A and B are shown apart, each in its own frame.
Chain A
Amino acid sequence: MSTELRKHKLDRAFTHIDVDGRGQIERDDLLGLGARLLVGFGESPTSVVGDRLVRSFDAIWSALTAELGRDNDAWISNAEFHAGMTGAFVEGDMFEPVFRPAATAVAELCDGDHDGRIGVAEFRVLLSAFGTAYDDVDEAFDRLDRDRDGELGLAELVEAVRQYYTGDDPHAVGNWLFGPL
């Protein structure tokens, strides 16, 4: 059951990158997601936060392809994506040095006023870049906002990212990161 849950979440994560539904992705697709995020927030790739996001997304792709024994320019199928993500970030030890910095960069991008908090408006911009339907954003936000103060802390969002991409717990709030599964 738990493995099925993670598989379901990674299937959706694959569609976040594979916007054409081709069934395979390349480095430009992941960097394209990064570009969509940056522009949504008006952030330049040459700001500190923007640069951090681009570099960390690039590092995720490198870790993924390295885990699969492929070069950086390779195309990756959905099955390979599952294998790479699981090998590098779930069973392997690459989450902390590679994936967490990317999650942190995304959280910092959402925190445009640098107050350490993310409101629902910023969260909507974030999820819009991933293709989450407008009506699902509020529900996702409410699930993640456990203390009901109308804001998410950066650490809360990063933990939700960890739970979504690597967790098996069916009760983890991070499963709601991109709306109902």
Chain B
Amino acid sequence: MTPASALTSLTSRVPALAAPCRMHRSVHAIEAAVIDWTRRTGLQVDRRSACHRLAARAFAEFDARAAALFAQWLTWLFHLDDLVDEEGQPYPRLFAGNGAHPLEAAFTDLWRATSATMSDDWRLRFATNLQRQADACRAEADNRASGAVPTIAEYPALRRGTAGPFLYDLVEPCLGVEVPPELAAAEQWQALVDSCADVAAWCNDLASLAKERGDAHNFVVVAARELEVGEAEAVDWVLDRIEERCADMRAAAKRLPLGELPRRTARDVSMVACAYLTAPRAHVDWAAESERYT
């Protein structure tokens, strides 16, 4: 089984990934909003990645503006990934930058549009997760320079960091809600975020394996090396881990203390949680239609 077909096989193997995400009815307007924003901020338009389609699937049930804002953040993240991973450039200075680099200016633009209505608690959470990504990207760069390969035990946390943990914080401003700080910090909420993030990131590893050949920062490569198995066996091993993490997603969602929250708050955080639970399948659908990894 190739990594790409393995990814597709998950949809018949894992109940939580069985149904395709609907496509937002305004997907073309979302694409136009992304192209317009990309040109305005001086970034290059990347039609091959089609990240607007990932946002349009993840936010299919929500307002088109929410999906467009998320798609703009994805566009920014993909540019950042390419800068750091493929060009080997250092992680840019974002909050402390002077806006000279288009990525810094684009960040400033998105940050202004996103954070205006959010609390200081949320801003701190976002900034903390942005820093986590910067730290993880630097750790990967150090590994590449020294030829080190992360262990199976080390890899999930590292990958969670490079995938951009702040993306999960962005669901709230996109939906116009906010998870109460005490819930956002609770073990149950963190378990949900981490399990959804792991499933989406490991699905991404399967999708990108062929393009990233030679880079050790892929769960398949990490597993093959440590378990001393071939690629096909390592792919099967990663599929098993994804299936386990999907069970963790379900268990974590069930443990959320919704009954202890005011009804409106319980509805709002449920919408956010549903967006998280949707992310892995949205990723699978997008990987099949995007040319980012071909």
Contact = CB atoms under 8 A, between A and B. Distances in A.
Interface in A32-88: 32-33, 35-36, 38-48, 50-51, 54, 58
Contacts of A51: 18-19
Given A19-B263, A20-B264, A36-B270, A42 B251 contact: yes
B281 A40 contact: no
B252 to A, nearest CB: 8
A39 B19 contact: no
B15 A47 contact: yes
Nearest to A41: B254
Tell me if A's interface is mostly helix, strand, loop or mixed. Answer: helix
A69 B268 CA distance: 29
Contact of B278 (A19, A20, A44): A44
A166 interface: no
A52 B19 CA distance: 9
Contacts of B149: none
Given A45-B278, A46-B278, A35 B271 contact: yes
Counting from the closest, the 8 A-B pairs by CB-CB distance are A42-B254, A51-B19, A46-B281, A44-B16, A42-B250, A35-B270, A32-B267, A42-B253
Interface of B: 15-21, 61-62, 249-254, 256, 258-259, 263-264, 266-271, 273-274, 277-278, 280-282
30 contacts: A19-B264, A29-B267, A32-B270, A35-B271, A35-B274, A36-B266, A36-B270, A38-B274, A39-B256, A39-B258, A39-B269, A39-B274, A40-B270, A42-B250, A42-B253, A43-B250, A44-B15, A44-B278, A44-B281, A45-B274, A45-B278, A46-B16, A46-B21, A46-B277, A46-B280, A46-B281, A47-B18, A48-B18, A51-B19, A128-B259
